[in-house]
Structure 1
Amino acid sequence: MTSLKSSKRQVCTNCSYPQSTCLCAWVHPIDVPLNIIILQHPKEAKHAKNTVKLLALGVANITVLQGETPEDWEEFVKDVIRQPQDYSVFYPHPHSTSLESVCSQVQKAENFPVNHNVIFIDASWRKALKIWHLNPWLQLCSSWHFANPPKNQYHIRHTTQQSSLSTLESVAYVLEFTHSIDCSSLHTLFLKMQTQCFLQNK
């Protein structure tokens, strides 16, 4: 592990967390059968507690695209419009389908084949809704929501939305449900980030 000196504190060049709370010991990247694509609101990217930063450490094949409008993701939007059947988006709305309604392995394989592209929106609920409305091309993809998600373990951020999950938890749940991927290393990294960086002095 190496570090670089900032004006305020030393930061690990591997995990990008302060050296005093380095998470490298718990970073064990996993290869996953789906292509994870995160549409991240720019303000969320600046939030110290965002979990996409952890996903980038813990998942090998992940793409993070920052922005808010179609103009921010022009080439990606063109790809989706050309082949919307190759993409699924996880965002709850009146016409989305419950992930849990896909029960059999055959159904899972049909809806989430290997190398399928799955899109998640990383933003506050209000900003995620804005992104959804500003990007009608997302509605060309199959849309999914969680009917029975696991209990939220995001203890350092609060939301008024019931049954809400962090982006990391959402990605892990999809991987676990669709392909039975062992995401224990992701959950451990998530827990250690919270205890090491934000809860240790409480």
Structure 2
Amino acid sequence: MRQCCSDCGYPLKTCLCQDIAAVNNQAEIIILQHPKEASHAKNTVRLLTHSLAKIKIYVGKSAIDFSSLQELLRSQPLNTVVLYPSPNSQVLNITEARKTKIERVIFIDGSWKQAYGMWKNNEWLNRFPFYKLALPNAGQYAIRKSKLDISLSTLEAVAYSLNTIEQLDTKPLLQLLTSFTRRWQSFVQRSKDKQ
């Protein structure tokens, strides 16, 4: 049985502890995570939980799965937005972020198909403003592929959003993603070499 690091949870051979740096975000990050994504070995939300000061993850697909979150949002009202490229999403930029004074950001974590289904099955999200990122380049997460040019890992989307909302230095998050990607590619290469 493979031994895992008691701190980061990754196998000892690919332990990421030396690459994890604390990121003291002020805006609360909420992740709605598809159940299949939660168990995916290459999901990046797990990396975020080791770095961010304020993050909560809710696993599910439908509104009933997120009933505890909906209650939290009602009982603790903060200026909340959803980061998802719906047809009505506005581009998130520094000017808009300052004007809106965003305190909480909800992200949908899953494949494009899974995320779209979650958005459609959770109409309660539509009571919040929707934003999307305007990025000139595709994501850097090379170990998972997408046919869409605008694809980002959830970690990248969170990092770019926090950089825009708080002008927070999120390089530690992106460096953690780079380290994770290199270790994964190295693991895959070693497996190929053994065949």
TM-score by length of 1: 0.87
**Partners of 1:16 and 1:147 in 2: how far apart?**
33
| C-alpha contact (below 8 Å) 1:84/1:140 kept by paired residues | no
Residue in structure 2 matched with residue 134 of structure 1 by the alignment: 121
Find the residue that maps to 1:144 and give its secondary structure.
strand
**Partners of 1:32 and 1:48 in 2: how far apart?**
25
Q: Which of the residues 3, 8, 12 maps onto 2:5?
A: 12
Amino acid at match of 1:58: S
Return structure 1 stretches of 4+ with deviation > 2 angstroms: 78-86, 107-110, 147-151, 197-202
| Deviation for aligned residue 1:199 | 3.1
Answering whether residue 181 of structure 2 is matched by residue 194 of structure 1, we say yes
**Partners of 2:130 and 2:118 in 1: how far apart?**
15
Amino acid at match of 2:14: T
| C-alpha contact (below 8 Å) 2:133/2:161 kept by paired residues | no
Answering whether residue 99 of structure 2 is matched by residue 99 of structure 1, we say no
Deviations 1:70-94, CA, capped at 9 Å, x for gaps = 1112121134357776210011111
**Partners of 1:141 and 1:25 in 2: how far apart?**
38
TM-score by length of 2: 0.90
| Deviation for aligned residue 1:46 | 0.7
**Partners of 2:99 and 2:7 in 1: how far apart?**
37
Change (3 A) 1:83 1:144: farther
Aligned residues: 189
- Unpaired runs of 5+ residues, structure 2, are 190-195
**Partners of 2:124 and 2:136 in 1: how far apart?**
26
| C-alpha contact (below 8 Å) 2:138/2:149 kept by paired residues | no
Deviations 1:39-68, CA, capped at 9 Å, x for gaps = 000100111100000000111210011111
| C-alpha contact (below 8 Å) 2:143/2:184 kept by paired residues | no
- CA RMSD, Structure 1 to Structure 2 (Å): 1.8
- Unpaired runs of 5+ residues, structure 1, are 1-7
**Partners of 1:153 and 1:112 in 2: how far apart?**
28
Change (3 A) 1:149 1:85: farther
- Identity among equivalent positions (%) equals 38
Deviations 1:93-115, CA, capped at 9 Å, x for gaps = 11111113xx43xx4223134xx
